[in-house]
Amino acid sequence: DVKVTQSSRYLVKRTGEKVFLECVQDMDHENMFWYRQDPGLGLRLIYFSYDVKMKEKGDIPEGYSVSREKKERFSLILESASTNQTSMYLCASRDRGTTTEAFFGQGTRLTVV
Amino acid sequence: AQTVTQSQPEMSVQEAETVTLSCTYDTSESDYYLFWYKQPPSRQMILVIRQEAYKQQNATENRFSVNFQKAAKSFSLKISDSQLGDAAMYFCAYRAIQGAQKLVFGQGTRLTINP
Protein backbone atom coordinates (compact mmCIF):
# COMPACT_ATOMS: atom_id res chain seq x y z
CA ASP A 1 0.00 0.00 0.00
CA VAL A 2 1.13 3.50 -0.81
CA LYS A 3 1.84 5.49 2.28
CA VAL A 4 2.05 9.26 2.51
CA THR A 5 3.10 10.38 5.96
CA GLN A 6 2.89 13.89 7.34
CA SER A 7 5.11 14.56 10.31
CA SER A 8 2.45 16.07 12.59
CA ARG A 9 -1.32 15.80 12.88
CA TYR A 10 -1.63 18.90 15.04
CA LEU A 11 0.73 21.85 15.34
CA VAL A 12 0.49 25.12 17.24
CA LYS A 13 2.94 27.89 16.36
CA ARG A 14 3.37 31.55 17.23
CA THR A 15 3.04 34.41 14.79
CA GLY A 16 6.36 35.12 13.09
CA GLU A 17 7.82 31.67 13.63
CA LYS A 18 9.34 29.72 10.78
CA VAL A 19 7.32 26.53 10.35
CA PHE A 20 8.26 23.34 8.55
CA LEU A 21 5.65 20.78 7.48
CA GLU A 22 7.17 17.53 6.33
CA CYS A 23 5.74 14.93 3.97
CA VAL A 24 7.27 11.58 3.08
CA GLN A 25 6.02 9.02 0.57
CA ASP A 26 7.28 5.48 0.20
CA MET A 27 6.32 4.61 -3.38
CA ASP A 28 8.95 6.43 -5.42
CA HIS A 29 6.39 8.86 -6.87
CA GLU A 30 7.67 11.70 -9.02
CA ASN A 31 4.86 14.16 -8.28
CA MET A 32 4.17 15.63 -4.87
CA PHE A 33 1.70 18.32 -3.87
CA TRP A 34 0.83 20.56 -0.94
CA TYR A 35 -2.77 21.64 -0.51
CA ARG A 36 -4.49 23.85 1.99
CA GLN A 37 -8.03 22.94 3.10
CA ASP A 38 -10.43 25.56 4.47
CA PRO A 39 -14.18 25.25 5.12
CA GLY A 40 -16.22 26.39 2.14
CA LEU A 41 -13.14 26.68 -0.06
CA GLY A 42 -12.23 23.04 -0.55
CA LEU A 43 -8.60 22.18 -1.22
CA ARG A 44 -6.39 24.75 -2.86
CA LEU A 45 -2.97 23.97 -4.33
CA ILE A 46 -0.03 25.78 -2.74
CA TYR A 47 2.96 24.22 -4.51
CA PHE A 48 3.79 21.05 -6.36
CA SER A 49 6.93 19.28 -7.48
CA TYR A 50 7.37 16.89 -10.37
CA ASP A 51 10.97 15.92 -9.64
CA VAL A 52 13.76 16.39 -7.14
CA LYS A 53 14.70 20.06 -6.78
CA MET A 54 11.87 21.04 -9.13
CA LYS A 55 8.93 23.07 -7.91
CA GLU A 56 5.99 24.93 -9.38
CA LYS A 57 3.69 27.49 -7.79
CA GLY A 58 0.11 26.51 -7.34
CA ASP A 59 -2.87 28.78 -6.88
CA ILE A 60 -1.98 30.28 -3.48
CA PRO A 61 1.83 30.27 -3.04
CA GLU A 62 2.12 33.60 -1.22
CA GLY A 63 3.69 33.23 2.20
CA TYR A 64 4.93 29.70 1.50
CA SER A 65 7.98 28.03 0.04
CA VAL A 66 8.88 24.39 -0.54
CA SER A 67 11.90 22.14 -0.64
CA ARG A 68 12.43 18.82 -2.36
CA GLU A 69 15.98 17.62 -1.86
CA LYS A 70 15.09 13.93 -2.00
CA LYS A 71 12.47 12.21 -4.09
CA GLU A 72 10.53 10.85 -1.15
CA ARG A 73 10.32 14.07 0.87
CA PHE A 74 8.51 17.31 0.15
CA SER A 75 8.60 20.06 2.75
CA LEU A 76 6.31 23.06 3.04
CA ILE A 77 7.84 26.10 4.73
CA LEU A 78 6.03 29.04 6.26
CA GLU A 79 8.78 31.65 6.42
CA SER A 80 6.98 33.83 8.97
CA ALA A 81 3.76 32.27 10.15
CA SER A 82 0.69 34.47 10.32
CA THR A 83 -2.76 33.86 11.80
CA ASN A 84 -4.32 33.67 8.33
CA GLN A 85 -2.23 30.58 7.70
CA THR A 86 -4.18 28.69 10.34
CA SER A 87 -5.58 25.81 8.31
CA MET A 88 -5.47 22.12 7.45
CA TYR A 89 -2.54 21.19 5.22
CA LEU A 90 -2.67 18.07 3.06
CA CYS A 91 0.21 16.48 1.20
CA ALA A 92 -0.33 14.19 -1.78
CA SER A 93 1.83 12.17 -4.12
CA ARG A 94 1.25 10.60 -7.50
CA ASP A 95 3.27 8.55 -9.92
CA ARG A 96 4.03 9.98 -13.33
CA GLY A 97 1.54 9.00 -16.00
CA THR A 98 -1.89 10.07 -17.01
CA THR A 99 -3.87 7.26 -15.42
CA THR A 100 -2.43 7.20 -11.94
CA GLU A 101 -4.29 8.39 -8.89
CA ALA A 102 -3.10 10.67 -6.10
CA PHE A 103 -2.58 9.44 -2.55
CA PHE A 104 -2.97 11.75 0.42
CA GLY A 105 -1.49 12.07 3.86
CA GLN A 106 -3.69 12.46 6.93
CA GLY A 107 -3.25 16.19 7.12
CA THR A 108 -1.66 18.60 9.55
CA ARG A 109 -3.97 20.96 11.37
CA LEU A 110 -1.86 24.06 11.96
CA THR A 111 -2.92 26.78 14.37
CA VAL A 112 -0.97 30.03 14.40
CA VAL A 113 -1.53 32.10 17.55
CA ALA B 1 -8.30 28.12 -15.61
CA GLN B 2 -10.33 25.14 -14.63
CA THR B 3 -12.87 25.47 -11.85
CA VAL B 4 -15.01 22.98 -9.96
CA THR B 5 -18.21 23.95 -8.16
CA GLN B 6 -20.16 22.01 -5.56
CA SER B 7 -23.29 23.98 -4.75
CA GLN B 8 -24.48 21.84 -1.83
CA PRO B 9 -22.46 22.59 1.32
CA GLU B 10 -24.45 19.99 3.29
CA MET B 11 -26.71 17.06 2.49
CA SER B 12 -28.42 14.50 4.66
CA VAL B 13 -30.06 11.17 3.90
CA GLN B 14 -31.77 8.39 5.78
CA GLU B 15 -29.85 5.18 6.14
CA ALA B 16 -30.55 2.78 3.24
CA GLU B 17 -31.86 5.61 1.04
CA THR B 18 -30.23 7.05 -2.09
CA VAL B 19 -28.58 10.46 -2.28
CA THR B 20 -27.07 12.43 -5.15
CA LEU B 21 -24.28 14.96 -4.75
CA SER B 22 -23.88 17.58 -7.47
CA CYS B 23 -20.76 18.90 -9.16
CA THR B 24 -20.19 21.16 -12.14
CA TYR B 25 -16.90 22.14 -13.67
CA ASP B 26 -15.50 24.43 -16.29
CA THR B 27 -12.72 23.61 -18.72
CA SER B 28 -11.75 24.21 -22.31
CA GLU B 29 -10.02 20.84 -22.52
CA SER B 30 -11.64 17.96 -24.34
CA ASP B 31 -9.91 15.19 -22.43
CA TYR B 32 -9.53 15.02 -18.66
CA TYR B 33 -10.35 13.02 -15.54
CA LEU B 34 -13.00 13.64 -12.92
CA PHE B 35 -12.94 12.23 -9.40
CA TRP B 36 -14.98 11.97 -6.26
CA TYR B 37 -12.99 11.82 -3.03
CA LYS B 38 -14.33 11.03 0.43
CA GLN B 39 -12.84 12.54 3.58
CA PRO B 40 -14.17 10.90 6.77
CA PRO B 41 -13.51 12.34 10.24
CA SER B 42 -10.13 10.58 10.23
CA ARG B 43 -9.18 13.15 7.54
CA GLN B 44 -7.77 10.49 5.21
CA MET B 45 -8.79 11.33 1.65
CA ILE B 46 -10.08 8.25 -0.12
CA LEU B 47 -10.72 7.95 -3.83
CA VAL B 48 -14.33 6.88 -4.35
CA ILE B 49 -14.68 6.83 -8.11
CA ARG B 50 -13.00 8.08 -11.27
CA GLN B 51 -14.33 8.98 -14.71
CA GLU B 52 -12.35 9.46 -17.89
CA ALA B 53 -13.90 12.15 -20.05
CA TYR B 54 -13.42 10.19 -23.26
CA LYS B 55 -15.56 7.36 -21.91
CA GLN B 56 -19.28 7.79 -22.46
CA GLN B 57 -20.19 5.07 -20.02
CA ASN B 58 -20.75 6.25 -16.46
CA ALA B 59 -18.35 4.81 -13.90
CA THR B 60 -19.70 2.54 -11.15
CA GLU B 61 -18.07 1.21 -7.98
CA ASN B 62 -20.43 -0.97 -5.95
CA ARG B 63 -22.97 1.41 -4.34
CA PHE B 64 -21.38 4.47 -5.92
CA SER B 65 -22.11 5.63 -9.45
CA VAL B 66 -21.77 8.84 -11.39
CA ASN B 67 -23.89 10.69 -13.90
CA PHE B 68 -21.38 12.27 -16.27
CA GLN B 69 -22.85 14.84 -18.66
CA LYS B 70 -19.90 16.12 -20.69
CA ALA B 71 -21.77 18.73 -22.71
CA ALA B 72 -23.33 20.16 -19.57
CA LYS B 73 -20.03 19.82 -17.65
CA SER B 74 -21.83 18.05 -14.87
CA PHE B 75 -20.54 15.16 -12.74
CA SER B 76 -22.87 14.01 -9.97
CA LEU B 77 -22.30 11.18 -7.50
CA LYS B 78 -25.10 8.82 -6.53
CA ILE B 79 -24.80 6.78 -3.36
CA SER B 80 -27.29 3.93 -3.14
CA ASP B 81 -28.31 2.11 0.04
CA SER B 82 -26.58 4.74 2.20
CA GLN B 83 -24.69 3.41 5.20
CA LEU B 84 -23.56 5.13 8.38
CA GLY B 85 -19.96 4.76 7.22
CA ASP B 86 -20.70 6.94 4.20
CA ALA B 87 -20.88 10.01 6.43
CA ALA B 88 -18.01 12.26 5.35
CA MET B 89 -16.99 15.30 3.34
CA TYR B 90 -17.15 14.57 -0.36
CA PHE B 91 -15.00 16.45 -2.83
CA CYS B 92 -15.37 16.57 -6.58
CA ALA B 93 -12.08 17.06 -8.43
CA TYR B 94 -10.82 17.63 -11.96
CA ARG B 95 -7.47 16.78 -13.47
CA ALA B 96 -6.25 17.67 -16.94
CA ILE B 97 -4.36 15.06 -18.92
CA GLN B 98 -1.87 17.54 -20.33
CA GLY B 99 0.28 20.03 -18.50
CA ALA B 100 0.73 20.13 -14.74
CA GLN B 101 -1.93 17.48 -14.08
CA LYS B 102 -2.80 18.99 -10.74
CA LEU B 103 -6.09 18.18 -9.05
CA VAL B 104 -8.58 21.05 -8.88
CA PHE B 105 -11.14 20.57 -6.11
CA GLY B 106 -14.63 21.79 -5.45
CA GLN B 107 -15.71 23.28 -2.14
CA GLY B 108 -16.94 20.00 -0.71
CA THR B 109 -20.29 18.62 0.47
CA ARG B 110 -20.76 17.36 4.00
CA LEU B 111 -22.95 14.25 3.95
CA THR B 112 -24.81 13.18 7.07
CA ILE B 113 -26.48 9.77 7.34
CA ASN B 114 -29.50 9.64 9.64
CA PRO B 115 -30.10 6.25 11.31
pLDDT in tens, B73-88: 999 999 999 999 999 9
Residues of chain A with confidence (pLDDT) below 70: 1-2, 98-99
Q: How much of chain A is helix, strand and coil, in % rounded to 5?
A: 5, 55, 45
Interface mutation vs chain A, best among B47, B55, B103, most A CBs within 10 Å = B103
Per-residue exposure over A58-89, b if at least 16 CB sit within 10 Å of its own CB, e if not: beeeeebebbbeebbbbbbebeebeeebebbb
The 3-state DSSP class for residue B96 equals strand
pLDDT in tens, B17-41: 999 999 999 999 888 999 999 999 9
Tell me if A42 and B105 make a contact (CB, 8 A cut-off): yes
The 3-state DSSP class for residue A88 equals strand
The 3-state DSSP class for residue A53 equals coil
Query: Which one, of A78, A71, A111, lies nearest residue A95 by Cα?
Result: A71
Tell me if A106 and B106 make a contact (CB, 8 A cut-off): no
